[in-house]
């Protein structure tokens, strides 16, 4: 079977995308894992299918690099919105369904993709750190000298600790600067550091809100580039109107035989 694929990236978080609106693409876990392999396949942090779904502009189906279907991917949602636009689906506001429910997305005048994330209504404090779900589960840890941190080993240790090993968790290390935060993330399913993680920077931004209540905008630096998260803080446990904002770019397209 020969399939056409497209490669997109959002601040270095890269994805293989396929247009499955005809519902004719059926991939096994092993095939997805192969496609995402950086030495023997195309290479990506994950794979997405653009599906048709009644009542929505499209459906987002997301798979981790290990080949398993996964929870929400924020940068993936932004890249899939850009892909939908490039495939001729032109809207002022997109409505699509992902694993964690309905999302909205917009393309602003700077060509950044603004993706509305799910509301957050619960944050857990854990050993001095923070755990919350922004569509995917995240662990947020404050650190110093973040660029010299061993994110792979530190993240792997937390991800595989007894409280999180069964379901897995994404681990975000955050350093606070005067006007922004720096975030590095170890992602489950990839089982390595990625250059950026959309749901991860969203989680970090909520934890590092600068206004006690009301509107917040947090600027974020990742290894792959700059993002921003805008949201309304209701209280220390509740956040609404959350938007993940950043670039999403086409890289290349091709065909591969499976």
HSE toward the beta carbon, residue 196, CA cutoff 13 A? 28
Residue 8, Cβ neighbours under 10 Å: how many? 25
CA distance 183 to 180: 10
CA-CA distances (angstroms) from residue 47 to 139, 196, 237, 245?
23, 16, 32, 21
Q: Which residues contact 144 (CB under 8 A, 6 or more apart)?
A: 175
Which one from 36, 79, 197, 245 is the annotated catalytic residue?
197
CA 230 to chain CA mean position, Å: 16
Of 30, 2, 94, nearest in space to 47 by CA: 30
DSSP code, position 195:
S
**Does the annotation count 245 as an active-site position?**
no
What is the CB neighbour count within 10 angstroms for residue 25? Answer: 17
| CB count in 10 Å sphere of residue 152 | 13
* Residue found by looking up tokens 């499209």 in the block: 58
Beta bridge partners of 16: 7, 47
The answer to whether residue 73 is catalytic is yes
Which of the residues 36, 73, 79, 245 is marked catalytic?
Answer: 73
Q: Which of 52, 100, 40 is nearest to 76 (CA)?
A: 100
> What is the set of active-site residues?
73, 197
């Amino acid at each position: 079977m020969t399939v056409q694929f497209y490669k997109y990236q959002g601040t270095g978080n890269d994805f293989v995308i396929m247009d499955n609106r005809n519902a004719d693409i059926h991939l096994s876990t092993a095939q997805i894992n192969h496609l995402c392999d950086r030495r023997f396949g195309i290479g990506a942090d994950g794979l997405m299918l653009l599906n048709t779904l009644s009542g929505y502009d499209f459906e987002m189906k997301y798979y981790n690099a290990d080949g398993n279907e996964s929870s929400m991917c924020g940068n993936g949602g932004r890249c899939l919105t850009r892909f939908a636009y490039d495939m001729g689906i032109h809207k002022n506001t997109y409505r699509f369904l992902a694993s964690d429910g309905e999302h909205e997305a917009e393309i602003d005048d700077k060509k950044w993709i603004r993706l509305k994330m799910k509301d957050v209504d619960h944050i857990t404090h854990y050993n001095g750190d923070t755990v919350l779900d922004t569509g995917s589960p995240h662990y947020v840890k404050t650190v110093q000298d973040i660029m010299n941190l061993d994110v792979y080993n530190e993240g792997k240790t937390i991800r595989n600790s007894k409280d999180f090993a069964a379901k897995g968790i994404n681990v975000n290390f955050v350093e606070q600067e005067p006007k922004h935060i720096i975030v590095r993330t170890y992602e489950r399913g990839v089982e390595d550091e990625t250059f950026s993680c959309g749901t991860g920077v969203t989680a970090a931004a909520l934890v590092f809100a600068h206004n006690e209540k009301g509107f917040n905008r947090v600027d974020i630096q990742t290894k792959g580039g700059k993002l921003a998260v805008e949201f309304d803080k209701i209280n220390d446990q509740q956040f609404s109107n959350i938007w993940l904002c950043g670039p999403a770019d086409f890289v290349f397209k091709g065909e591969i035989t499976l």
